[in-house]
Chain A
Amino acid sequence: MFEIVRSNHESDINVDFVAIGNLVDNHFESTHSAFLIQYDETIYVFHYTGWEIEFKSQQTDDDYYHKITETITPDEIPAFLAYAKTIKKHANPIYGYFYSGEYYNTNGEHFGDKNLGESMTCVGFCLNVLKGFLEEDYIAYTDWSEDSHNDKDFLERFCAKYNKNPDLIKDAHRRITPRECLTSCFLKDLPIRKHVIDKKILQVNNHFTQLYQRTNN
């Protein structure tokens, strides 16, 4: 599976793209997801760190693995960069595991069906940005339930901290993992369904397992 590329070492500089990248831990488990954008021979990283939105050129000490999304054509990359810079300038998300299909728009204003404020994870951030950029919904977010969340008391703790009512935002409380987010880039039939990702993710997991074995042998 050559399509997952180690950003610092294997990226063809002559191709412009928007990709989703993952950082991995020692066991090659995905811990973070971000956009990697290559334009005019420069790679940029655009992501939510948990406390702020960052837009910068790629640093060599961040070892990303990325997959290019086919939902954005090379001619649309200037539009994506301008959108990213505008979001960086105006938006302000609070860290949370929420994703209810809301999205960033019109200069980084956060649009959503529920009044959650701007609460999200690194994955929620990527999905929101894509939802705002694409004409169609990127992901069928209702396929993910609260059960997909493995940090059980998170909702209660989050609501206590930010003074929100858990009953109001329970529906939006979902956790889509960085690995699932990366896997979504293999798919282009929108909106992307969970069962399709579940199938594809086996190959992606397999790829990282092989990388782990190669590194540890």
Chain B
Amino acid sequence: MPNKIEIILKTANNQPVSLKSMTPEALDSFLAVVSSLKSIATSIGSNTVFTISEGSASCAVYAPDNEVEVDNMYNGIELAIKGKSRDKNFTTNTKTIQDQLKRTGYDYRFIYTNDKYETHKVIQIHERLREAKKITLKRTKSEFEYKLRVVSGFLNQIGGNTPNYHFDYGHGNKITISCTKEEAIDIKKYLYQDIFVILFCKEWTSDKKSEYYHKQILDKEKVSVFKEFFQAYYIKEDIVDRLEYLHEFIYENIKNNINGIDILSILLNVFNTDNLHLSELKTLLVISKPFKNNSIIERERMLLVETYENIRNKK
């Protein structure tokens, strides 16, 4: 059995639930919970698979190609339950699940199963989630944090006077991503397609909505590399630890991955913004210096040098 996280709705309004016949109210509750599980899963995994099955109403998520992703999802949920999560995606979605779990007349099971080791491990998350305090984001000193993220979505609108595009997730759930006119012209060829992008996100610690800025369209085969990179990068809280990891990550990719230089080129582009720590830009310049005449990164590196010098001279 592969590792999985499963959520099961057994009774709603004190009535047993079956997928074959659900009341609108029970369906709403189940969809809200499933949608949150999906948001958590897709922020971590790149090849996640969902199974919805009968026997009450159940939805389970697996990551057949990389089972560690399921463990990472579970760890993220645990952190949110303990009130220690700084990841807004985890806290808001765990909170949605918590709200449904606490409803009177509703009986949910929320279970993490890890079969990879000799001991078969089944953890009943619902018990603690029901008892836990209201899930909130762990406050940082600052009001907001800038982060790079890999986001995917169905591109169903692009353009406007202030150029932007939308990812529509259904249920009135959508995000608006700002971009430049030049980027909009480039992105519009993906209209009505599912795409992956790296976004520069301004994430508030309050309930204020995150702001998104387009950085780069990502080929499908590079999605997992960057998802894993940003996950590991931002989980470290100390800037020096992050930068050391950045060195290691690029070193390993240049050495072992035929796409190493392409990956470096993408990082040079997505980190090119005024709002990151000057040391992040500087580290990328130091790492890429030996390859500065390589045609794949030459332009991206030159543009990053410009931004770096602008920030440095302003101070």
Contacts and interface: CB of A to CB of B under 8 A. Distances in A.
Interface of A: 39, 73, 75-79, 81-83, 85-86, 90, 105-107, 109, 111, 132-133, 135
A78 B240 contact: yes
Contact of A81 (B240, B250, B254, B305): B240
B247 A86 contact: yes
- Kindly list the 8 A-B residue pairs having the minimum CB-CB distance in the complex, ordered from nearest: A82-B243, A79-B279, A107-B251, A79-B282, A75-B278, A78-B279, A86-B247, A78-B239
Contact of B289 (A73, A85, A90, A132): A132
B286 interface: yes
Nearest to B247: A86
The interface centre, meaning the residue of B277, B279, B305 with most chain A CB atoms within 10 A of its CB, is: B279
Given A76-B278, A135-B305, A86 B250 contact: no
Contacts of B315: 73, 75
Interface in B54-72: none
B277 A75 contact: yes
Contacts of A78: 239-240, 243, 277, 279
Contacts of B277: 75, 78
A105 B278 contact: no
17 contacts: A73-B312, A75-B278, A75-B279, A75-B312, A78-B239, A78-B243, A79-B278, A79-B283, A79-B286, A81-B240, A81-B243, A83-B247, A83-B283, A106-B247, A106-B289, A132-B286, A135-B285
A82 B289 contact: no
B244 interface: yes
B285 A82 contact: no
A105 B285 CA distance: 11
A90 B247 CA distance: 11
Given A81-B243, A107-B287, 17 more contacts: A75-B278, A76-B282, A78-B243, A79-B280, A79-B283, A82-B283, A83-B247, A85-B240, A85-B244, A86-B251, A106-B250, A106-B251, A106-B289, A106-B290, A107-B248, A132-B286, A133-B286
The interface centre, meaning the residue of B239, B246, B286 with most chain A CB atoms within 10 A of its CB, is: B286
Contacts of A135: 285, 289, 305
Contacts of B254: 106
Contacts of B251: 86, 90, 106-107
B223 to A, nearest CB: 25
Interface string B290-311: 1000000000000001000000
A82 B305 CA distance: 19
A135 B304 CA distance: 12
B247 to A, nearest CB: 4
The interface centre, meaning the residue of A79, A83, A109, A111 with most chain B CB atoms within 10 A of its CB, is: A79
B289 to A, nearest CB: 6
A86 B244 contact: yes
Contacts of B286: 79, 83, 105, 132-133
A109 B250 CA distance: 13
Nearest to B305: A135
Interface in B242-263: 243-244, 246-248, 250-251, 254
